[in-house]
């Protein structure tokens, strides 16, 4: 992002996201439902692009990773083996005064609903004793609702990978080290969803379980931490806004040898985007124990059998989408048409200077931008311009998500696309009719140049690589 980042607040961003069709409150027509969000026309494209780039880099461009799409509801014994039934819980308290419900371990950063200037616990409200609350959503399979039909919506996508490890190994002709990747929905009945879409009850995960030979844990963990850090800069997040939280020995799960969280500096604080954990052979061992089936790998080179260890990079799609939005969002003052001056970031509390206007822009990396380019005829009442612009739009639309707009002044059309995060604008004008060139406009610099209309597709393809 730019100099405006420290002044960004979530109200500004949420307003833009609703206005431009990125994110809506779920069930808003009926007053909404806390912890659930719907992605509009631009938001669904943004999320899809993030997932596509992840899948390309983690699966398609590698020879040692294959994919899986496991079901959301699985046999309840899976959650016994994984430890979720017993240990997947948060400490919960109620306030008898305001009737609110909160996580007991997050009171320090939680404002009182009735006295926002004070935190919960320091507001004088009467709190109950903490009690454990399991975060899994319970449901029933079949017509009878009893203990025998109890099932759960998955709280993570990883366990489906472990449960299918033997099947994938037998059909994929992979050899250790290799990985199984999955993108899918997960559900956690969060006590206190907050910070816009950051902590929700329904979300998407991108998870990789990379199976390795015991004793190579440190090497592969280091490899995947670096690979994942590099990926975030690829999708447009500046490295200076990323950090790593390295777990100390007393913070690690009993089965883990290392864990690093990749963190991003959100407006509401530095928070986790992804965890990269070296989990040993805990998961496969537990599923082997509970299922009674051996989940081993036979290494033909060493003539030995072993239960593979695993390194797990686990990322949240919704959190990444929010980080990308925060990173891209910028407000700046630009000179009005016909006046001199240079673009400059807005300054909090100051009015727009004379001769300037305010521009809102989303500086998405082209690879994740929902719309890759917008095509404009200079005037909508000139059929010869409209025909050329529509033909160019039809050609590009066969390969890229592009947008056609002929309504309003050209400057206003540029502003609309700036707010949508469209990297490039292509304008067909009278010079196009004379020499077959168009105006190519860059969203970030606002610079314009003439290029041959026949080179537009090549220029766009190059920019999106």
Give pLDDT tens digits for 108-117: 777 887 788 8
pTM score of the predicted model: 0.89
CA 430 – CA 15 distance, rounded (Å): 38
> In the predicted model, is pLDDT for residue 381 greater than 80?
yes
CA distance linking residue 259 with residue 181, whole number of Å: 19
User: How far is C-alpha 99 from the chain's CA centre?
Assistant: 33
Q: Can you read off the two tokens belonging to residue 180? A: 């199984």
**pLDDT for residue 191:** 81
Q: Tell me what percent of the residues of the chain surpass a pLDDT of 70.
A: 97
The predicted pLDDT at position 7 comes to 60
Which positions ≥6 away from 29 have C-beta within 8 Å?
none
- Under a CB-based contact definition with an 8 Å cutoff, are residues 336 and 357 in contact? yes
Angle between the N-to-C axes of helices 317-328 and 10-19, in degrees from 0 to 180, rounded to the nearest 10: 100
Q: What is the pLDDT of residues 10-68, one digit of tens each?
A: 888 999 999 999 999 999 999 999 999 999 999 999 999 999 999 999 999 999 999 99
Cβ within 8 Å of residue 222, ≥6 positions away: none
Lowest mean pLDDT among 3-7, 62-66, 88-92, 105-109: 3-7
Residues 303-323, mean pLDDT to the nearest whole number: 97
Ordered by where they begin, the domains of the chain are: 5-73+156-326 (3.30.930.10), 371-463 (3.40.50.800)
Q: Parallel, antiparallel, or unpaired: how do β-strands 424-428 and 373-377 relate?
A: parallel
CA distance 368 to 330: 17
Helix (H) or strand (E) holding 430: helix 430-435
Average pLDDT on 174-197 reads 93
Residue 145 predicted with pLDDT over 70:
yes
pLDDT tens, position by position, 403-462: 999 999 999 999 999 999 999 999 999 999 999 999 999 999 999 999 999 999 999 999
pLDDT of residue 6: 42
* Placement of tokens 């699985």 in the chain: 74
Helix axes 41-55, 317-328, angle to 10 degrees: 110
Alpha-carbon distance of 65 to 181, in angstroms, equals 7
**Phi, psi of 141, rounded to the nearest 5 degrees:** -110, 120
Spatial CB neighbours of 385, under 8 Å, sequence gap ≥ 6? 377, 378, 379, 428, 429, 430, 432, 433
Phi, psi (rounded to 5 degrees) for 377: -80, 140
Evaluate the omega torsion of the peptide bond into residue 177 and state whether it is cis, within 30 degrees of 0: yes
242 forms beta bridges with 264
């Amino acid at each position: 992002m730019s100099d405006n980042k420290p002044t960004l607040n979530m109200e500004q961003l949420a307003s833009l996201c609703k206005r431009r069709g990125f994110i809506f409150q779920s069930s808003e027509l009926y007053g909404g439902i806390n912890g659930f969000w719907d992605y509009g026309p631009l938001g669904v494209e943004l999320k899809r692009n993030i997932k596509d780039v992840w899948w390309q880099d983690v699966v398609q461009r590698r020879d040692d990773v294959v994919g899986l799409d496991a079901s959301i509801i699985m046999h309840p014994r899976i959650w016994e083996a994984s430890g979720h039934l017993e240990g997947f819980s948060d400490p919960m308290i109620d306030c008898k005064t305001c009737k609110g419900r909160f996580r007991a371990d997050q009171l320090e950063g939680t404002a009182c609903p009735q006295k926002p200037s004070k935190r919960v616990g320091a507001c004088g409200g009467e709190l109950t004793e903490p009690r454990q609350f399991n975060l899994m959503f319970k449901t029933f399979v079949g017509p009878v609702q009893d203990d025998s039909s109890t099932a759960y919506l998955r709280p993570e996508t990883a366990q489906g990978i472990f449960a299918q490890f033997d099947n994938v190994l037998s059909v994929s002709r992979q050899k250790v080290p290799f990985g199984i990747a999955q993108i899918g929905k997960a559900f956690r009945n969060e006590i206190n969803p907050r910070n816009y879409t950051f902590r929700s009850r329904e979300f998407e995960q991108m998870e990789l379980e990379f199976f390795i030979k015991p004793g190579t844990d440190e090497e592969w963990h280091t490899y995947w931490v670096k690979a994942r850090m590099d990926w975030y800069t690829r999708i447009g997040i500046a490295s200076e806004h990323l950090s790593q939280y390295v777990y100390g020995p007393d913070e690690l799960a009993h089965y883990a040898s290392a864990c690093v969280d990749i963190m991003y500096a959100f407006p509401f604080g530095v928070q986790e985007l992804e965890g990269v954990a070296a989990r040993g052979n805990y998961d496969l061992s537990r599923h082997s124990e509970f299922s009674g089936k051996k989940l081993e790998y036979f290494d033909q080179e060493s003539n030995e059998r072993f239960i593979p260890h695993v390194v797990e990079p686990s990322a949240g799609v919704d959190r990444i989408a929010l980080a990308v939005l925060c990173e891209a969002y910028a407000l700046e003052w630009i000179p009005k048409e016909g006046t001199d001056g240079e673009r400059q970031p807005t300054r909090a509390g100051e009015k727009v200077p004379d001769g300037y206007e305010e521009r809102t822009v989303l500086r998405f990396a082209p690879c994740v931008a929902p719309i890759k380019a917008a095509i404009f005829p200079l005037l909508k009442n000139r059929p010869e311009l409209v025909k050329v612009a529509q033909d160019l739009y039809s050609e590009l639309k066969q390969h890229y998500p592009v947008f056609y707009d002929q309504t309003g002044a050209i400057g206003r059309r540029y502003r609309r696309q700036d707010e949508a995060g469209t990297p490039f604008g292509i304008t067909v004008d009278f010079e196009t009719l004379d020499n077959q060139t168009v105006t190519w406009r860059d969203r970030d610099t606002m610079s314009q140049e003439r290029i041959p209309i026949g080179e537009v597709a090549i220029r766009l393809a190059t920019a999106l690589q």
